[in-house]
Structure 1
Amino acid sequence: MKKIIIPGLIAGAVVFIISYGSIYLGIKLFPSLFLGYNNPLFNSENDRDILFYLHAFIISFALSWFWERFKGLFKGAPVIRGLEFGGVYTVVSLLPIMWLTFSAMDVTLSMVFSWMLYGFVQAVIAGVTFAKINP
């Protein structure tokens, strides 16, 4: 259990810092992409905002379990292992859920692609972190 919880916490902290920094940077660099979020669909009325901010830890714990179970399949340097790990996560998880999201919700294709890229980067960061602390 330690091999899942501790790496999950560490990766959660790293993913949290990098993710929210990248969101801030993204808003500054691509403001038109983020205008679509001025939509009642994305208004949580502040009662569930904490859930959004905790997602880096939720995804990191899930990915930590996945890493512990399948880490032997990823070979090479930590960055290569992280990239492969992120790619597997993207194809197995993000692609199907983004397909469903785009088909069922009134969101733009650019939003869906940005979410997929965001998730891929998060998984790569987590994978590199796991490769370094739980090889």
Structure 2
Amino acid sequence: MKKIILSGIITGAFLFILSYGCLYLGIRFFPTLFIDYNNPLFNSEGNRDGLFYLHAFVISFALSWFWDRFKGLLKGHFILRGFEFGFIYAMVSLLPVMWITFSSLDITIFMVLSWFLYGFAQAVIAGILLGKLNP
């Protein structure tokens, strides 16, 4: 259990820094891609901002537990295992969630694809880190 928690904290911190660094750079250098987010659908008036900022740790703990349970099924170098782990997560979790999100909310296909790729990248990075931290 200690390995799961410690791996989750380290992976969460790494994903937090990476995610918000990329978000900052994306908004700064590609502002037109973020215009669609000026929509009341995405405005929580600050009530839930803390939950949004904690997402890197929530996903890291979930993926750390998932990694610990299924790491024995993944073979090869830790980088290859990380990519396979990210792909499995994307197909089992992200694809169905993005499908229902796109079909039920008035959002663009670009938004859904960017969320899908973002989640896939997070899972691959988490898988690579977890492969090193908890082989």
Q: TM-score range by the shorter chain?
A: over 0.9
Q: Which residue of 1 aligns with 2:74?
A: 74
Residue 95 of structure 1 is matched in structure 2 by 95
Q: How does 1:2-17 map to 2 (within 5 A)?
A: 2-17=2-17
- Aligned partners of 2:124, 2:106: CA distance in 1, in Å? 28
- 5+ residue gaps, structure 2, are none
| TM-score, with length taken from structure 2 | 0.96
| Root mean square deviation of aligned Cα | 0.9
CA distance in 1, matches of 2:112, 2:130: 27
| TM-score (normalised: structure 1) | 0.96
The residue aligned with 2:64 is 64
Deviations 1:58-116 (A, max 9, x none): 00000011000000111222211111111110000000000000000011000000000
> Which region of structure 1 is more displaced relative to structure 2, 76-85 or 124-133?
76-85
User: What is the one-letter code of the residue matched to 1:80?
Assistant: L
Match of residue 130 from structure 1: 130
Structure 1: gaps spanning 5 or more residues: none
Matched residue, 1:23: 23
Given the alignment of the two structures, is residue 113 of structure 1 paired with residue 113 of structure 2, yes or no? yes
Report the Cα distance in structure 1 between the residues aligned to 2:89 and 2:113, rounded to whole angstroms: 15
